[in-house]
Amino acid sequence: MLFVGIDQHKRHLTVCIRDEQGNVSLRRQVSTKWENVDAFLASLRERATAHGGYVAVVEVCGFNGWLVKRLEMWGCKRVYVISAPDRVRQKTDRRDAHERECPVDAIVDSQIARYLKDELHCDPMQVGSAIAQIRSLAKMAGFGVDEQFASAGLRAGPEARIAAAIVGLAIGATGSGISVAAIKEQIDRWAEKHPGTAY
């Protein structure tokens, strides 16, 4: 998975791209003229194919709509629209793009998706609904989708325990004590509640 941070302005986008190891593979500015944006997103989609796709992080502003639609049209798996961070003393577009390209939840999302598809052989149409449910349960418990949730969730109800076990298995933790059959059964339930959510 590639992680794309975008600082959006009226006349240009400042872009930073990282891989899952955190290595920066591209930093550049792109004009917001349609042909320039489409040419860049076409090349990004091609670049991301070998990495299993890409997710994007954009700071919320009054004109995100067209960019979010364009990203989705050009194959972005998920777009995170986030609030602006506290301002730093030396604000730059490159710093903004660099700081928003790789949120923890986006990394864990990709690890969960890969685990469900590669290890449990889940239907891709089930993976998105599973991730949505895991995120929801983590939020209800007051956690991000992270190692803390993988530990704390195991002391919660059955659904949260399975969600926490999936997170733990995806990020390499052990000792959940929950069977693969139980995990698959729960994923089927989540897919029934939220059909057709592909990842």
Degrees to nearest 5, angle at CA 106 with 105 and 112: 85
6 and 32 co-located in one domain: yes
Q: Work out the angle at residue 15's Cα, subtended by the Cα atoms of residues 14 and 18, and round it to the nearest 5 degrees.
A: 155
Distances (CA, A) of 85 to 108, 149, 180: 21, 24, 39
pLDDT band at 71; cut points 50, 70, 90: very high
Whether residue 78 is found in the same domain as residue 140: no
**Secondary structure class of 7 (helix, strand, coil):** strand
Identify whether residues 9 and 36 lie together within a single domain.
yes
Tokens of 40: 């860049």
In terms of domains, do 125 and 183 share one? yes
Q: What is the DSSP string of 21-83?
A: T--EEEEEEEE-SHHHHHHHHHHHHHHHHTTT-EEEEEE--TT-HHHHHHHHHTT-SEEEEEP
CATH number at residue 56: 3.30.420
Q: What is the pLDDT of residues 114-157, one digit of tens each?
A: 888 888 888 877 887 888 888 888 888 888 777 778 877 666 68
Q: Which residue has the tokens 């941070």?
A: 5
Q: Is residue 198 part of a domain?
A: no
Q: What is the pLDDT of residues 164-187, one digit of tens each?
A: 888 888 877 655 678 889 989 999
For 80-116, write each residue's pLDDT tens digit: 777 655 444 444 555 555 444 445 566 677 778 888 8
- 65, pLDDT greater than 70: yes
- Domain boundary residue among 102, 133, 166? 102
Helix (H, G, I), strand (E, B) or coil at 126: helix
Domain boundary among 83, 102, 121: 102
- Cβ–Cβ contacts within 10 Å for residue 66, how many? 12
Whole-prediction pTM value? 0.51
Pick the last residue of a domain from 72, 102, 132.
102
Q: Is 177 left (phi over 0), alpha (psi -120 to 50) or beta?
A: left
| Model pLDDT for residues 23-32, shown as the tens digit of each residue | 788 889 999 9
The total domain count for the chain is 2
Same-domain pairing of 124 and 92: no
Cβ atoms of 1 and 52 closer than 8 Å? yes
pLDDT value at position 46?
A: 94
